[in-house]
Amino acid sequence: MAKRIEAEIRGATVSLNHLIKLRGQSRGLQMGAGRRVATALAGNYASSFRGRGMDFDEVRAYQPGDDIRSMDWRVTARTGRAHTKLYREERERPVFFLVDHSPEMHFGTRSAFKSVIAAEVAALLAWGAGDNGDRIGGIVFNGDGHVELRPTGGQRGVLRLLKTVIDAPRASHAEPASLTHALARLRHVARPGSQVVILSDFRHLDADGERHLSYLSKHNDLLAVFIFDAMERELPPPGRYNVSDGDDIFAIDTRGAKSRRHYRQLFEQRHHAIESLFKKHGVKLFDMATDADVTPTLRRMLGVVR
């Protein structure tokens, strides 16, 4: 009985020690570096900073302030207009995690709350990125406000993110525009070329939020993880159930076949809308159910072969 209660508590909350232990499962969990990064530190990726690096990138029209030593005299002579050679240098990549900790994420009927799954996915991907030399930053928001973390390298950056996720207070009422506000802030803190990971159930993604998402997708490499519970997709077997939000208890009746079909259709419509939105903006979207085995599921999503 005690073990069962302990497991139930572990599914509703998550400890820093548990997230630290996930480091051992993060090997090989690398996100694609499809875009170039913009930062002044040496590392493993090609930078959006154009300078006198090792790799030639392109030729463009001369702009005031360009280094005269990089002039392409052949193109200049051929076109009659001054042109400059551009190079790219290798840089570290900032990785930003946008973690939804709003009240709706503190829900789950199978294995764990959505908030716990979000924390585990963030931990696995952050450890993988940190071990690859990336700098970890992010925004954790809970419906009432948010915490911003500037990118920091090494284990320190990962631990700071995980501790912020663990310590985020649970808001009693969510501000509908909290995800929009978080995306707006991310536009200001994520420099072009950053990797961005968004972990949410996307319940409050509105038109303004889509506008911010569109901007971010044009300048960064985005990965979104849609987190949902099985009961959000399908009602439990026909019957009457008592459900609690932590304060009140109320009953739901799942015996009506018509109601069950309508409920399933509503989820499918919402899921399709989320898929279409992210596809429209060229954002990779993965599904993660609360009863999924997180590490193997992530490996399949990212195409990691062990």
At residue 230, the pLDDT reads 92
At residue 89, the pLDDT reads 44
pLDDT above 50: residue 72: yes
Q: Would you mind telling me the total number of residues written for the chain in this entry?
A: 306
- Which of 58 and 147 is assigned the larger pLDDT? 147
Q: Which helix (H) or strand (E) segment is 75 a member of?
A: helix 73-79
Please, which pLDDT band fits residue 42 given cuts at 50, 70 and 90?
very low
Long-range contacts of 53-56 (CB under 8 A, 24+ apart): 53/87, 53/88, 53/89, 53/90, 54/87, 54/89, 54/90, 55/87, 55/88, 55/89, 56/85, 56/86, 56/87
d(CA 11, CA 291): 10
pLDDT above 70: residue 44: no
pLDDT above 80: residue 163: yes
Q: What is the mean pLDDT of residues 24-37?
A: 69
Read off the pLDDT of residues 234-288 as tens digits, 9 standing for 90 and up.
998 999 988 776 678 888 889 999 999 999 999 999 999 999 999 999 999 999 9
d(CA 198, CA 100): 8
Residue-range domains of the chain with CATH:
2-37+92-302 (3.40.50.410), 49-91 (no CATH)
pLDDT above 90: residue 207: yes
What is the distance in angstroms between the CA of the first residue and the CA of the last residue of the chain?
A: 36
Long-range contacts of 203-206 (CB under 8 A, 24+ apart): 203/102, 203/104, 203/179, 204/102, 204/174, 204/176, 204/177, 204/178, 204/179, 204/180, 205/179, 205/180, 205/274, 205/277, 206/176, 206/177, 206/180
- Top mean pLDDT of 1-15, 94-108, 240-254 is at 94-108
Which strands make up the sheet holding 195-200, listed edge to edge?
146-153, 135-141, 94-100, 195-200, 221-228, 284-289
Please, which pLDDT band fits residue 92 given cuts at 50, 70 and 90?
low
Handedness of CA 15, 16, 18, 19 (dihedral sign): positive
